[in-house]
Structure 1
């Protein structure tokens, strides 16, 4: 009898031959035989099992998955088939399916250590750390000295905060394999978490000795940085670059480290070096853009962000940063498009709505900006910057209580926020509802916050008590077309450079034509942009500055916290702000007797240093616009005007303005400010006036215009009605120069008395009211005689140019005396009495 061939199973020698080819890595030959075998024996699991393994080795993952599924189907009791299928699922990130396969393999062979280990790896990747921990421990029951299992178990223990257990695992690994680099790094991490910093440092160093990759250097540098061992951290990162010259991460780490220290210019070559290694790293292009932006090089930053977007058109972070750069370049419409694109890509990111809100506000879309900022807060209620930006938005709308509320919300989530506290202090100046004591208390809170961040303030300086020439530093972000610059120019152009050397310290490097007029008066022009507070203080201290004038106070973009390091022996607040800084390290506040009468000394932490006449001297505008005739002579009615922001015009202001207009029923109000570029804001204001009895036909509400057009607008104005308690400053001086007087109401703080100070210095004390009743009566009286008003208009420009408010030489002499007085009060030593010399010179000039 002849036996027939079994057609359902391959012969044993065929299977052995296939297995031998596979083990010898002769994969093409093995593939041909395995493919033939599964066609001939389609239900035989062994052939499918080997075929799947071959495909896995070749990277043909879908073919591998199909083959291994058949293997598992036809070998239901083969734990290796389940295990191999699990590996294939894992490689394709089908994690749930991989878990099922590994569990099946373990059920078939409970002592299969590798299946327990791989199951742990999948569970770890799914963030099921407790379950992963148990799987690793199961694997160790059957493979007690497996260093990979121990290392991964240590990882999940660390991630769960079980640092002591993790440390035990790493130490077991190193007893088995002392050169296991990853275990040394892990041991360093858990030692750091346990506060055992020397042990951590030793572990990272051992990892490096055993030839660790960049990770060990990075961890060691972070440890040294956190311990304020900055030089050692830098040496470590340089060693990392030397050991791994082709590592983008090593080079970027050095760049980011330098940028963190405020050494931004030094960081840029490292970012560029990283990109020379790998131009495809979109994140490095963005990092380089950030470094460029830190230096104020926004057009160069734009190039970096656009390069990142060429690499990944859906890179939302690059769109966000591009929007920020475009915003800083005042290309607001392009910035809006960039933020819109970022939001479309990542609609759940709060910072995008916050940044968009700033750009919309710059475009005059105040209400739309408010909605965007509220969306940011809705997504992330603890987002401090969104609350601060919302505060700024509410100020622009004149909603002061809501603005202050947002500052307190920001401080609730970050009590140490300098920016939130500065915004709060600035916002309170618009309101008449806070006592001087309360404002001072809040300012002192700012002082407490910033001084707590200072490691060690300077107590010694390069100054010489008998110096005959003082080095004066001026710190500001507004040395361009800005009110601060308008008041500064007259002084710096008339400084006696034989007695004073001026250095500008910029907190914002934007420049324009006005900057060009200021620069020649300074011996040095230095940027603090991109420097940390400590690095900036160190620069100022090393420059040997004798007197440092801060021109910003709590206004936008200030760097008051630099003063907390006390980089100069004498520090002074002047010009840009109108209340106490609250900082005990600021020695003086420059004022005049009208602005800060002696009864108000207690409102200030600083010592008041009086200037005669006025604390400010305005520079005649650089525009060719003549004074016009009084428009009321032609119109037959008075046109009142304001060029103030909505924030300055609270309910009390509108009510008093309405009283004036009701008393003069033919009068009209022309009000021009940026917020009226938003139609909804304008409609709200018309409605508010209607409730006060003033109809829309008596109102002309206009958005802001170019600087020259703004001056020309005064041709339509007879009298400026000032706001309170925050009156005009720059606009008051500019109106006087255009022949238009301002009616102001003096209050009980420096800012509330700013208008009174300026008008007194200009010889218009009769335009200063002490009460609301006086304000109303003065408006009626001063507007009752049009010929007198016309005569005043005709002579007013000449009058103010000759007054202390515009007299640059007189003001420069007054400042000279004040600076030397402050110097001698600080250094009361014998020597040349510069104060007496200056006073003698001033008296001679007056003669």
Structure 2
């Protein structure tokens, strides 16, 4: 907060009181200073400096409402003082009143054009308003006034990250750190820029430096650990995982929810982590305006919200279901907040939606207001806590019914996500208490799929893929962060047991590949028996599955879309079913396909089954034949059937809302009906 020296004549005794207050304030005693400012104001209620500094003290003491009131009162007395407008702007910014805050900063720089702090904080207001280019200009104005302003360089880096310019952002963070090497936020966001540039080892080092400077940095420990997992850096993992678990159980702000899924197979801990994160970052916004009434006979307005309406795993799963929604039952909207795309998936989406709206430059509150204006009945969150998600949209209230589906395999742990769409395998009824949402159980599998996807027609030889022609090929195309040391050790034992076999892995990064080769050598396996597949287009990726013999899943976080890819391509997949949603997805897919023998519950059983299949060509061939038949007849790969199931679920949710009833757990039946799962809900209805 900026303060202005005393001005205006006061009687000597009162002037002494005022000076005593300022001295106390400057020495770090805002509460005692405020009491003395009050004494001055009791005699001279229009004393500008006392009002101004009492407002500053209130803000320092966490009393934002009174701080704003006193600053506004001071400005009414004298509106020519730039720091007063600056301080009021900061208070309004902290209170989420972005447009009024911006107006205050505009006034401050109009009064003092070289006011570097005001230019920088003006940029922060613009950044929160999602006017990113204008924010960048404001930070540049701040730096033109004060080139050695570390916070302005840091803020500038944040704007460049939002603009998708991580290399430029990195340069700005480095400038900030050259000026202030102890700027923990700059170290943290430097890590984000490096991660966006896929230089993950330096990213983890940057996060670690931030943690050293600020050991309790909110949620950074989990991000640091997840970044190391992406490059298969397992050093100290046992102790770090124990620290993660202890921190979550103690209610610490230790990790975002997503990294927890890959390390802790506990729905209870996953809920605790998500709840702590939601409370800190995405609390429910002030009560929105009343939602417009819906006509019971009209199509239900269902809006899907995502950053991934392009060539992306979630979109590939959901496309056919979106295209198959019945116009008589559902009017389908898309709210996109990801990068603009012109590809085959986005073209299909444009035709599938009744209306698609790009909300990239809109604030959460503006998107929610638009959703309410359009009369959206059901808002479907397709992102959860994954990359580029915006839970704040749902905290602001996009619709009277809000649903989490497909993008995030776990609970959102909020009081504004009403439902979670699942099935009885990913969330057994006995585990419902670990989910804040009411569960909606779909028949078969919760996961949508697109039967219109086809692998590339050109056959691919093993030689062209870098694989031995006659060896048994184990494969796993899961992301590297899902591979734990225990899983990898099991895979190495399989390679040793099955002569000449190889393990075909997705090449996430050169660093991960190098560490995995080093780990293989440590297990007595030649690194050459690990083959790495580069990332390729969707059709080519599906086609190359034909070159593998058996997909080995990871645990406690399974293959999800990756599992669907393998099974759709006709490749048998072996999974360990865990406790939490993220560790039960592959089992759900296999149950839906009628292949329960590919589901085990222990590492030992997994290893034994994999070895048996690798050494029994007839048994494996029989599995392949069954998979080939059942994938074409199973509802799992029928997006049209999924659309009908979703519509039944939406109709049930909507009807409860129209009847004035709270959300309730329900199960959609294969015949298109549904039933309530709780006796009280049945009685209410």
Aligned mates of 2:119, 2:347 — CA distance in 1: 33
CA distance in structure 2 between the partners assigned to 1:742 and 1:646 by the alignment: 18
Q: Which residue of 1 aligns with 2:681?
A: none
Are 2:262 and 1:430 equivalent residues in the alignment?
A: yes
Residue pair 1:350, 1:380 contacting (<8 A) in 2 also: yes
Matches within 5 A, 1:104-183: 145=12, 151-160=18-27, 161=29, 162-163=32-33, 166-167=36-37, 170=40, 174=44, 181-183=48-50
1:525: which partner in 2? 357
Pair 815,371 (structure 1): closer, same or farther in 2 beyond 3 Å: same
What corresponds to 1:821 in structure 2? 652
Residue 732 (structure 1) aligns with? 563
Q: Does 1:359 align with 2:164?
A: no
> In the superposition, relative to structure 1, how do residues 439 and 185 fare at CA in structure 2: closer, same or farther (>3 Å)?
closer
The correspondence of residues 110-509 of structure 1 with structure 2, limited to 5 A, is: 145=12, 151-160=18-27, 161=29, 162-163=32-33, 166-167=36-37, 170=40, 174=44, 181-183=48-50, 185-186=52-53, 211-214=78-81, 218=85, 222=88, 253=89, 257=92, 261=96, 286=120, 290=124, 293-294=127-128, 305=139, 314-384=148-218, 386-397=220-231, 399=234, 420=254, 423=256, 425-431=257-263, 434=266, 436-440=267-271, 453-454=283-284, 457=287, 461-464=291-294, 466-506=296-336, 508=338
Which stretch shows the higher mean deviation, 707-716 or 691-700?
Answer: 707-716
Determine helix, strand or coil for the equivalent of 2:357. strand
Cα deviation code 1:248-296 (max 9, x no counterpart): xxxxx49x947963656x9879978988898766656655655565465
1:134-179 per-residue CA deviation (whole Å, 9 max, x = no partner) reads xxxxxx9xx98388666544422443533377337735984xxx97
- Say if 2:131 and 2:361, in contact at 8 Å, map to a contact too: no
Change (3 A) 1:306 1:663: same
Partner Cα separation in structure 1 for residue 130 and residue 18 of structure 2: 46
Alpha carbons of 1:735 and 1:771: their partners in 2 closer, same or farther (altered >3 Å)?
same
How far off its partner does 1:324 sit? 3.5
Q: Secondary structure at the match of 1:635?
A: coil
The residue matched to 1:805 in structure 2 has which SS?
helix
**Equivalent residue, structure 1, for 2:640:** 809
Shift of residue 774, structure 1, vs aligned partner = 4.3
Bigger radius of gyration = 1
Specify the alignment match of 2:485 in structure 1: 651
Query: Could you report, residue by residue, the CA deviation over 1:707-750 in whole angstroms, capped at 9, with x for unpaired residues?
Result: 67655654653332111221111122223344433222233333
Partner of 1:640: 474
In structure 2, how many angstroms separate the alpha carbons of the residues matched to 1:613 and 1:627? 33
Aligned residues: 653
**SS in structure 2 at match of 1:493:** helix
Shift of the 273–739 alpha-carbon distance from structure 1 to 2, 3 Å rule, reads farther
> In the TM superposition, what whole-angstrom CA distance separates every residue of 1:586-607 from its partner, at most 9, and x where no partner exists?
4332122343344444443433
Alpha carbons 1:630, 1:790 under 8 Å: kept: no
Cα separation, partners in 2 of 1:705 and 1:586, compared to 1, 3 Å: same
CA distance in 1, matches of 2:60, 2:660: 55
Q: Name the structure 2 match of 1:11.
A: none
Q: Is the 8 A contact 1:391 1:406 kept in 2?
A: no
What's the offset of the Cα at 1:298?
5.2
Which segments of 5 or more consecutive residues in structure 2 lack a partner in the other structure? 674-685
- How far apart, in 2, do the equivalents of 1:203 and 1:258 lie? 16
* Change over 3 Å in CA distance of 1:330–1:720 after alignment to 2: farther
Q: Which moved more, 1:276-285 or 1:599-608?
A: 276-285
| Alpha-carbon distance in structure 1 between the residues aligned to 2:496 and 2:332 | 52
Within the candidate set 665, 687, 700, 2:499 is matched to 665
State whether residues 21 and 36 of structure 2, in contact with CA within 8 Å, keep that contact through their aligned partners in structure 1.
Answer: yes
**Residues 273 and 740 (structure 1 numbering): CA distance in 2 closer, same or farther, change over 3 Å?**
farther
1:665-718 Cα distance to aligned partner (Å, 9 max, x none): 2101121242x322xx44433343334342222123466566676556546533
TM-score, scaled to structure 2: 0.77
Q: Is the 8 A contact 1:630 1:793 kept in 2?
A: no
Give the match for residue 55 of structure 1.
none
Q: Per the alignment, do residues 190 and 826 of structure 1 end up closer, same or farther by CA in structure 2, a change over 3 Å counting?
A: closer
Aligned to 1:748: 579
| CA–CA distance in structure 2, aligned partners of residues 592 and 201 of structure 1 | 50
- Render the CA deviation track for 1:402-437: whole Å, top value 9, x for unaligned: 66567679879995x5xx56x2x4333223654x44
Q: For the residues of structure 2 that align with 1:608 and 1:216, how far apart are their CA atoms?
A: 52
Preserved CA contact (<8 Å) 1:502 1:523: yes
Note if contact 1:262-1:531 (Cα within 8 Å) is conserved in structure 2.
no
- CA displacement, residues 509-536 of structure 1 (integer Å, 9 cap, x when unaligned): 665534454244142526376635x666
**Which deviates further from its counterpart, 749-758 or 584-593?**
584-593
Q: Distance in 1 between matches of 2:64 and 2:567?
A: 66
How has the CA–CA distance of structure 1 residues 412 and 812 changed in structure 2, closer, same or farther, with 3 Å as cutoff?
closer
Q: Which moves more between the two structures, 702-711 or 577-586? A: 702-711
Q: Structure 2 CA distance, aligned partners of 1:279 and 1:651?
A: 58
Post-superposition shift, 1:637?
A: 0.7
Deviation sequence 1:352-385 (CA, Å, 0-9, x none):
2212222333334333222222212222334325
Q: Note if contact 1:739-1:795 (Cα within 8 Å) is conserved in structure 2.
A: no
Q: Find the partner of 1:614 among 436, 440, 445.
A: 445
State the alpha-carbon separation in 1 of the partners of residues 58 and 207 from structure 2: 43
Note closer, same or farther for the CA distance 1:664–1:613 as it changes in structure 2 (3 Å cut): same
Instruction: Give the TM-score taking structure 1 as reference length.
Output: 0.64
| SS of match in other structure, 1:744 | strand
Deviation at 1:318, TM superposition (A): 4.4
Question: In 1, distance between residues paired with 2:315 and 2:448?
Answer: 11
Deviates further, 780-789 or 328-337:
780-789
Which one has a larger percent helix, Structure 1 or Structure 2? 1
- Note the C-alpha offset of 1:755: 0.8
Distance 1:749 1:540 in 2: 32
Gaps of 5+ in 1: 1-124, 134-139, 223-252, 843-847
Partner Cα distance (1:622, 1:345) in 2: 53
Change (3 A) 1:622 1:289: farther
Aligned 8 A contact 2:455 2:569 in 1: no
